[in-house]
Amino acid sequence: MRLASADLWEPAPGRVVTWDVRPGRDRAPVPAPLTFNQRNHLLGAAAGEPSVWIAAAFDVDGPVDVEALEAAFRELVDRHPGLRVEALREDAAGTAGDVRLVRHDARALVWERYEGPATATVAQTREHLVAELGRRCAPFGYPAFLPAAISRAGRSTVVLGMDHLHTDAWSTAVVVDELAAAYAAHTRQEVTASAPAAVVGADAVPRPVPLRVGDDDPRLAAWHGFLRGRGWALPTFPLPLGVPDGARLPQRTVVVPLCDAATADAVGARARAAGASTSAAVLTTLARAVRDLGGPATLETLLPVHTRADAAARGSVGWHTTTVPLRIDTEGPAVPARDWAGAVRPRPAVPDTALAATGKALRAARELAAVPLERVVESLPEPLRFERVDIFQVSYLDYRRLPGYAAAVRHDAHHVSAATRADDLQLWVTRTDDGLAVRARMPRTPEATTTVDALLTRWAALLAALPRG
């Protein structure tokens, strides 16, 4: 799975086909549960935030068989109740009002296919699809997703764009796996054991498990300690990005490799020897890079983690993540740029004690995922402060462990995200057979460009040096 964003996506031209899905009138929708993340997302959209969509895109051989692809799309929507929810807004005078979800019966959905333009260039194809994704994947109303394809004589591209309401990064892997298998089955090109054999019901959707978290729960105390030390403010990236107070600017996206597969394997081996993991090594070297660029000795961030607890949840499509706080301590003084610029082996090397400490902190942070975020917020002795709209967060996902990874590689699958506005840095690190890579999202300013480019260069150098001690 390759990460991209709307501004970097390069879909080859071809004949564009899209589908619209609308609820029928013969079956009334039923109420559906609304998670903390979904509520915040919808309230932001109601207040005017731009659409945040995520698209799964992958290639298939030959021109698109539209009948087979429509059947595959229908099966996917039938199978996953999360793709049948609709967000409704209940406006109050002068406010964003409240939001709720309803779920439609798959048998009541009406599908309609549209023949789009035959594009001639990558730019034209991207412009058309990004416009359609922005228009059709807005969170309110149904479907808030866009089934589409780019048909070509030799190799075509299948696209399913979804508002974040419906999906997360893990879900894109599930979508590619199931859509590719179902499409192949319907075109009779191959027989695949992973093709969905049955439609699951609404009860299979992972839901937040009610959890009694008392005021004296040590996990709440951990959250409180993290936020109290920040004056009850959520983390912001500690290096300058050149964003005026209160401003959000057009997004700049960078996708770069951090190290190749052999180096990533060696990084993992070094981390395990220190009692840590590859993700802990990635985070430790990030904190060290920030420190060497003039940042603090302790890097504070939020870490998205999935909440899929069993096999059924692992195969679901939806927004099943939470966030946990993380402090990453560095050891030793900052290394000034004059001492490491261009060096093959940055000094000092990250010691085993730093890796072990991050590994321990990471394990403790993941224990906090069981505490509902709404419980954290309501338990705070002071209101939560947002110094910026975006939150400095670092995501790590090993796609090799996700459903259908082999299919994603075979079909050159891409996870494409909307490009909107930004006022802080956010990082998504991926582990694949190619090694470690990162997608960085930041405000488009000269200072942010200089800062983040230097950060990524230093980070990659530290990872390259890590296996050598």
**What is the CATH number for 86?**
3.30.559.10
Sheet holding 85-90, edge to edge: 30-32, 98-103, 85-90
Give the pLDDT confidence score for residue 345 in this predicted structure: 46
Same-domain check for residues 175 and 224: no
Amino acid at 122: V
State the CATH number of the domain containing residue 336. 3.30.559.30
Same-domain check for residues 381 and 442: yes
CA distance 419 to 51: 9
Is residue 230 one of the residues assigned to a domain?
Answer: yes
Same-domain check for residues 31 and 156: yes
- Who contacts 310 (Cβ-Cβ below 8 Å, separation ≥6)? none
Q: Could you please report the per-residue DSSP string of 236-258?
A: --SS---PPTT--EEEEEEEEEE
315: closest CA among 169, 173, 146, 147?
Answer: 173
CA distance 348 to 330: 11
The kind and range of the H/E element at 5 are: strand 2-5
Bridge-based pairing state of the strands 53-61 and 155-163: antiparallel
- Who contacts 87 (Cβ-Cβ below 8 Å, separation ≥6)? 38, 42, 99, 100, 101, 139, 140, 141, 144, 165
Cβ contact 291:268 at 8 Å: no
Is residue 209 one of the residues assigned to a domain?
Answer: no
Cβ burial of 231 (10 Å; 0-12, 13-18, 19+) is: exposed
Residue burial 183-202, b: 16+ Cβ < 10 Å; e: rest:
bbbbbeeeeeebbbeeeeeb
Give the pLDDT confidence score for residue 24 in this predicted structure: 87
Same-domain check for residues 176 and 319: no
The kind and range of the H/E element at 113 are: strand 109-118
Q: Could you please report the per-residue DSSP string of 269-285?
A: HHHHHTT--HHHHHHHH
Cβ contact 166:42 at 8 Å: no
Residue burial 74-92, b: 16+ Cβ < 10 Å; e: rest:
bbbbbbbbbbbbbbebeee
Same-domain check for residues 183 and 289: no
Same-domain check for residues 156 and 268: no
Q: Report helix, strand or coil for 111.
A: strand
Is residue 61 one of the residues assigned to a domain?
Answer: yes
Q: Report helix, strand or coil for 444.
A: coil
Give the pLDDT confidence score for residue 192 in this predicted structure: 46
Q: Could you please report the per-residue DSSP string of 13-80?
A: P-EEEEEEEEE-SSS--EEE---HHHHHHHHHHHTTPPP-EEEEEEEEEBS--HHHHHHHHHHHHHH-
- Who contacts 321 (Cβ-Cβ below 8 Å, separation ≥6)? 37, 168, 170, 304, 305, 306, 307
Q: Report helix, strand or coil for 428.
A: strand
In sequence order, the β-bridge partners of residue 421 are 250
Same-domain check for residues 234 and 190: no
Q: Tell me which residue range forms the domain holding 47.
A: 2-204
Is residue 211 one of the residues assigned to a domain?
Answer: no
Query: How does DSSP classify residue 140?
Result: B
Same-domain check for residues 45 and 186: yes
Is residue 210 one of the residues assigned to a domain?
Answer: no
Among the candidates 204, 239, 270, a domain finishes at: 204
Q: Report helix, strand or coil for 447.
A: helix
Same-domain check for residues 291 and 242: yes
Same-domain check for residues 107 and 254: no
Give the pLDDT confidence score for residue 206 in this predicted structure: 45
pTM to 2 decimals? 0.91
Cβ contact 61:412 at 8 Å: no
**For tokens 């403790």, what's the residue?**
364
Is residue 212 one of the residues assigned to a domain?
Answer: no
Among the candidates 170, 204, 238, a domain finishes at: 204
Q: What is the pLDDT along the chain (469 residues), one digit of tens a residue?
A: 899 999 999 999 999 999 999 998 888 999 999 999 999 999 989 888 888 999 999 999 999 999 999 999 999 999 999 999 999 987 654 444 689 999 999 999 999 999 999 999 999 999 999 999 999 999 999 999 999 999 999 999 999 999 999 999 999 999 999 999 999 999 975 544 444 433 343 334 444 444 578 888 999 999 999 999 999 999 999 999 999 999 999 999 999 999 999 999 999 999 999 999 999 999 999 999 999 999 999 999 999 999 998 888 899 999 999 999 999 999 777 776 656 554 444 455 699 999 999 999 999 999 999 999 999 999 999 999 999 999 999 999 999 999 889 989 999 999 999 999 999 999 999 999 999 999 999 999 999 999 999 999 999 999 999 998 7
Q: Both tokens of residue 14? A: 């071809």
- Work out how many domains the chain is built from and give that number: 2
Same-domain check for residues 223 and 200: no
CA distance 253 to 444: 8
Query: How does DSSP classify residue 350?
Result: P
Same-domain check for residues 24 and 159: yes
Q: Report helix, strand or coil for 90.
A: strand
Give the pLDDT confidence score for residue 47 in this predicted structure: 87
Number of other CB atoms surrounding residue 35 within 10 Å: 22
Is residue 161 one of the residues assigned to a domain?
Answer: yes
Amino acid at 213: V
Give the pLDDT confidence score for residue 91 in this predicted structure: 66
Give the pLDDT confidence score for residue 213 in this predicted structure: 82
CA distance 14 to 178: 24
Give the pLDDT confidence score for residue 341 in this predicted structure: 52
Amino acid at 280: A
